[in-house]
Structure 1
Amino acid sequence: MPSQMSALLIGEITHARKEWKDCGSIANLKEYPLGSREDFILKCRNGDFNGVYVIYRSNDSNKITGNFNEELIDELPESLKFICHNGAGYDNINVAACSRRGISVANTPIAVNDATADVALFLILAALRRIAPPFQAVRQGKWRGGPNFQLGHDPRNKVLGILGMGGIGQAVAARAKAFGMKIQYHNRRPLPLREENGAKYVNFEELLKTSDVLSLNLSLNPSTKHIISKPQFDIMKDGVIVINTARGPLIDEAALVEALNVGKVWSAGLDVYEDEPSIHPGLMENENVVLLPHIGTATFETQRDMELLVLENLKEAIQSNRLKTQVPEQKQ
């Protein structure tokens, strides 16, 4: 462990600034609030960040440095041992490259569960009721949307299939259960019985074939990109509802648009997109799709909790040479 321990903040801290400054009692604090990928790499090469032991990677830092891919990771200072990322998703960090360099990575699960699950349930209910047309119509002076108004569906007794039953998936299940939905899920492996809370474990194909509503709550990685595409839509129930609050590239958007256009998918609720902030024109034009601009964790409370969890990881790294919420790939 270096004698002059340094921590580098990339981007900004908005809700836990005082707590970041307090970390000055255990580390030399450095900041890189603005810049570019080229400038950041140049500073790495020039030794500006020599001695940095841990990086705090803020929620919006990707706009500054771009992805922490193998190219960038190879430029990081030799002293670096930990990256503490603010976000539950970390697909913009090449974890394998970090592991090869002996760098441990943390993310922010748990802190995001409730807010993301709230948005997922909002989208489930909105998609079931096909809420977008009457929501827009009332502001245009068209009561209920005029003669094209359509009835929606109740959540009660609908089968909610959750793909990815981690913390967020379990929080979605608990909320949906209160609305009378029947919960089934698919994971890499079944949960312990005590954690299922009445949910039924099924294989991937059965999940697709038997769910009335499908909620995506899994991580994005090379094996899960386009995990939902045309072959998967083809075996789903006619009139299925698809919800995504995880990562956009989990769904092949062109295939989703086609499934919506032919009525295979009755409606969809999306908070994330394959090429955000760009959204597929076919989704924008389809009034049966409920669209949100990636606001799953956009609450004051959750944003502060996320920042505080990153700081907990940072302090654990400096004081104990470990992380509180290390990413699963490095714990296996």
Structure 2
Amino acid sequence: MAKSNALLIGTLSHTRKEWQAISEIANLHEYPDGSREDFLSKCRNGDFDGVVALYRSNDSNKITGNFNDELLDALPKSLKFVCHNGAGYDNVDIAACTKRDISVSSTPVAVNAATADVALFLMLGALRNVTQCFQAARKGNWRGDFKLGHDPKNKILGILGMGGIGSAVATRAKAFGMKIQYHNRSQLPTKEEDGAKYVSFEELLKTSDVLSLNLSLNASTRHIIGKAQFDMMKDGVVVINTARGPLIDEAALVDALKSRKVWTAGLDVFEEEPKIHPGLLEDENVVILPHIGTATFETQRDMELLVLDNLKLSITEGRLITQVPEQKKAKAKV
């Protein structure tokens, strides 16, 4: 029986051995580097004909760009599975993939702990207003223009998006004595809430002392937090974002920081990253990290392994372990 063909776009840092082992069930092809134009040319020339499943590494977007209609049209008609490395997949057009009968997987679960750890790091840093002191000390100015911070204890943490990462954030925040409330499109089963209070989106904004964004980016969530939403929040709210930058209208956030409606913010993601809004860089109340939420050896390996597990199952059984929820819901309706 002829082997299927599998394609790796980008590189692997932690699982080369495991990738090579897939050669027992598939012919392996690689496109480690190049440009979108070159990749499209190779697709159109038939270099990847017969590929059934591809591994889209987390550094491959800078090589091929977004998986949109243009790129999907160029990919071989044999392609049935896109195994994406990343919890977020806004650079893959899921509707366009579904239309072409291409199933897509991502890497939830594998990223939960590391991303939640960074969310807590940012939250504690924002509450204690560490940026100014940190920078002053490194310049030999000791505490600089020191100001008191806030304790997390008894603060209301509002989680927008109580999925795997949001739940992990809630678990960690409880250890600091925080009260947890959340908003999803629908309420979780009581067991999964683990004592958290379900509230409406409006109530979440109006009553949270700290707001943590832990939801995916799509057309309906882009700029879900803007001027109107900041106006609803408590004076002196702290905003944390470890999900996707475009969830927040950054210009509105800068204005809210200037007025002190938002006391401070902890951000790992940005609207036009790697570019960061100058107003955020200039504000010493903001704690900034350069999108390192999953940047640990352990998590990166776990993510790569999960993608490979999806790839293997797609080849051997024609299904995925962690198919994106939009496609799973569409299947359930059929």
Match of 1:164 in 2: 161
Of 188, 202, 209, which aligns to 1:205? Answer: 202
The secondary structure found in structure 2 opposite 1:143 is coil
Whole-angstrom CA distance in 2 between matches of 1:140 and 1:322:
55
* 1:1-332 → structure 2 map (5 Å cutoff): 3-145=2-144, 148-332=145-329
Note the C-alpha offset of 1:303. Answer: 0.2
Secondary structure in structure 1 of the residue aligned to 2:187: coil
Deviation digits for residues 163-220 of structure 1 (CA, Å, limit 9, x no counterpart): 0000000000000000000000000111110011110000000000000000000000
Partner amino acid, structure 2, of 1:12: T
Q: Matched residues in 1 for 2:259 and 2:18: separation?
A: 53
Question: Do 2:19 and 2:308's aligned partners in 1 also have CA atoms closer than 8 Å?
Answer: yes
Q: Indicate if the aligned counterparts of 1:6 and 1:51 stay in contact, CA closer than 8 A.
A: yes
Partner of 2:332: none
Supply the AA of the counterpart residue of 2:298. Answer: E
In 1, the alpha carbon distance for the partners of 2:72 and 2:168 equals: 34
AA paired with 2:305?
L
Unaligned runs of 5+ in 2: 330-334
Instruction: Please provide the CA RMSD for this pair.
Output: 0.7
- Report percent identity of matched pairs: 74
SS of residue matched to 2:143: helix
**Whole-Å separation in 2 of the counterparts to 1:3 and 1:236:** 60
* Corresponding letter in the other structure for 1:282: G
Which residue identity does 1:101 align to in structure 2? R
Report how far residue 4 of structure 1 moved: 3.7
Does structure 2 retain, via aligned residues, the 8 Å contact 1:161–1:185? yes
Alpha-carbon offset, residue 143 of structure 1: 1.9
The TM-score with structure 1 as length reference comes to: 0.98
Aligned length: 329
Contact 1:4/1:51, CA 8 A, preserved across alignment: no
Question: How many Å apart are 1:3 and its aligned residue?
Answer: 3.9
Asked if 1 retains the 8 angstrom alpha-carbon contact of 2:3 and 2:25, the reply is no
**Once the 2 structures are TM-superposed, how far is the Cα of residue 128 of structure 1 from its aligned partner?**
0.2
Return the letter of the residue paired with 1:56.
Y
Whole-angstrom CA distance in 1 between matches of 2:109 and 2:16: 21
- Pairwise CA distance, 1:139: 1.1
Q: How far is the alpha carbon of 1:289 from its aligned partner?
A: 0.2
Query: Deviating runs (4+, > 4 A) in structure 1?
Result: none
> In 2, Cα distance between the equivalents of 1:192 and 1:16?
36
Output the CA distance in 2 between the equivalents of 1:261 and 1:121: 24
Rounded to whole Å, the distance in 2 between the matches of 1:22 and 1:271 is 35
Instruction: Report the TM-score when normalising by structure 2.
Output: 0.98
- The answer on whether the counterparts of 1:51 and 1:79 sit within 8 Å (CA) in structure 2 is yes
Deviation at 1:142, TM superposition (A): 1.5
Residues 210-243 of structure 1, C-alpha deviations (whole Å, 9 max, x = no match): 0000000000000000000000000000000000
Residue 131 of structure 1 and its aligned partner are, at CA, apart by: 0.5
Report how far residue 86 of structure 1 moved. Answer: 0.2
Write out per-residue CA displacement over residues 105-148 of structure 1, whole angstroms, 9 at most, x where no aligned residue: 00000000000000000000000000001111111112211xx3
Q: Secondary structure at the match of 1:144?
A: coil
